[in-house]
Amino acid sequence: MMRRGLVVLSVMMLPGILLPAQAFPASQSPTQPPAASAASAAVGGLSAERLARIDRVLQQYVDEERVAGAVALVLRDGQPVYERAFGWSDKEAGRRMATNTIFRIASQTKAITSAAALSLVEEGTIGLNDPVSRYIPSFATTTVAVRHDTGVAFVAATRPITIRDLLTHTAGISYGTESDVAQLYEAKGLGPAAGFGWYTADKDEPICETMDRLGSLPFVAQPGEEWVYGYNTDVLGCVVERASGVRLDEFVRTRITEPLDMRDTYFFLPADHRNRLAAVYASMSDGRFARAPEGPTGQGRYVDGPRRSFAGGAGLLSTAHDYARFLEMIRNGGALDGVRILAPRTVRLMTTNQVGTLYSSTGLGFGLGFETTDRFGANGMDSEGAFGWGGAYGTSYRVDPEARLVIVLMIQLLPNATDIREKFRTLVYQALVEPPNK
């Protein structure tokens, strides 16, 4: 296995929903309806009594001040069977968490940008094996930093980087924080000069200008030889812009969020939604949270930024509800509510391991935008064929086609020293009492 740069994924409870079978709504009221009866909550093969364990555990994280607040959402067969908001959206301002709270989803942006790019593949505008240099000329002569006993040498890439490499994170492109390249990246406004590397919301330039500079910098592995987490999907977003002639935010809106009625998903927040944006907190040495500072390593400029850098790798904000609609479209083979976004075979490419053991040799893989579970037991209770990812601010999701589940957890904690994401997913699976393959 060769894998580098996996830096992501590294008080009142509001009334919630335990719903019987019904269509997952395209929009919802900001206020939550009262919980349904225990009998109706059992519909869908999940035990109401066992689902209630989620309430206790997530509330405990809030009570112990390990997280300020959270929103948890579970769909079964496309229907919401669990939806709760816990704690605070902004504790200092006295704002309670609500199910329609908006979160910075950071690297959960990657799946949406990947889907957008694949829509261009489907229509023949771009190809998976196209060289990136066709769209970003600075990628025509990429170099790689290679460490030797006497230091670091910069050598030519052995082959062109392709769009497939970007989608699978096998281009050798990192976030530029490694010691061999950090100073070079910082001088170009990337790596250490961009918050944790991936943050670009404060840049007063189009994302393609940033990616043009990136192409002139050395990468950290040869194309196709290692799985390296980094600016891959930001580069992909620039490819989308140049291939389509449409700015990425507009392309995502017309191809993904508007057709799916994802009304609260944006690259920059409308000013009148400011009070719906959750504050960012940070895990401290004692395990309790403290409010994160302003700036790129804290709250970020997602409301008052220049609104010019639409980062395909980490730029979006969304709600649990909106993101679950995107995931349900993927689980449903590329369509939702009669609207087709992608073909079923394209979704299969996205959700099937495409990198062999480059990502992991213990049963996990990586497709075209998603981490994949290739055997049962490799990732908690995930079924073989499950897929997911998360974001640097603590958000996470998993889709399990065999169990017919979509699981979404939203928090804002960076850095995040808790195990809330793993525990939440386990708590969902232990409530699934229907026998497998039913």
- Give the pLDDT of residue 32: 42
Name 87's bridge partners.
69
pLDDT in tens, 126-137: 999 999 999 999
pLDDT in tens, 176-226: 999 999 999 999 999 988 878 888 888 999 999 999 999 999 999 999 999
Question: Greater confidence, 2 or 303?
Answer: 303
pLDDT in tens, 141-188: 999 999 988 889 999 999 999 999 999 999 999 999 999 999 999 999
Residues constituting the chain: 438
Expressed in angstroms, the distance from the first to the final Cα of the chain is 35
- Give the pLDDT of residue 18: 46
Q: In Å, what is the CA distance from 243 to each residue of 208, 240, 407? A: 12, 5, 33
CATH code reported for the domain at 117-244 = 3.40.710.10
- Contact between 157 and 219 under an 8 Å Cβ cutoff? The reply is yes
| Separation of CA 334 from chain center | 18
33 contacts: CB under 8 Å, gap ≥ 6: 15, 17
Question: Greater confidence, 17 or 177?
Answer: 177
- Contact between 284 and 148 under an 8 Å Cβ cutoff? The reply is no
Give the span between the Cα atoms of 72 and 17, in whole angstroms.
Answer: 10
Q: What is the pTM of this model?
A: 0.92
Q: In Å, what is the CA distance from 404 to each residue of 41, 131, 327, 330, 383? A: 16, 37, 12, 12, 10
For the beta carbon of residue 429, count every other beta carbon within 10 angstroms.
19
- Give the pLDDT of residue 295: 86
> What is the helix (H) or strand (E) element at residue 317, kind and residue range?
strand 317-318
CATH architecture of 43-103+247-291+302-431: 3-Layer(aba) Sandwich (3.40)
Of 331, 376, 409, the residue nearest 78 (C-alpha): 331
For the beta carbon of residue 141, count every other beta carbon within 10 angstroms.
12
| Separation of CA 397 from chain center | 8
Strands 405-410 and 387-390: unpaired
Q: CA angle 186-189-193, nearest 5°?
A: 55
Of 365, 432, 374, 423, the residue nearest 403 (C-alpha): 432
- Give the pLDDT of residue 25: 66
pLDDT in tens, 219-262: 999 999 999 999 999 999 999 999 999 999 999 999 999 999 99
- Give the pLDDT of residue 1: 58
| Residue boundaries of the structural domains of the chain | 43-103+247-291+302-431, 117-244
Q: Which residue type sits at 206?
A: P
Give the span between the Cα atoms of 119 and 256, in whole angstroms.
Answer: 10
The answer, yes or no, to whether residue 28 has pLDDT greater than 60, is: no
- Contact between 142 and 211 under an 8 Å Cβ cutoff? The reply is no
Q: In Å, what is the CA distance from 230 to each residue of 7, 90, 236, 319, 372? A: 9, 30, 12, 24, 18
Give the span between the Cα atoms of 241 and 251, in whole angstroms.
Answer: 8
Of 239, 265, 388, the residue nearest 321 (C-alpha): 265
The answer, yes or no, to whether residue 343 has pLDDT greater than 70, is: yes
**pLDDT > 70 in the chain, percent:** 89
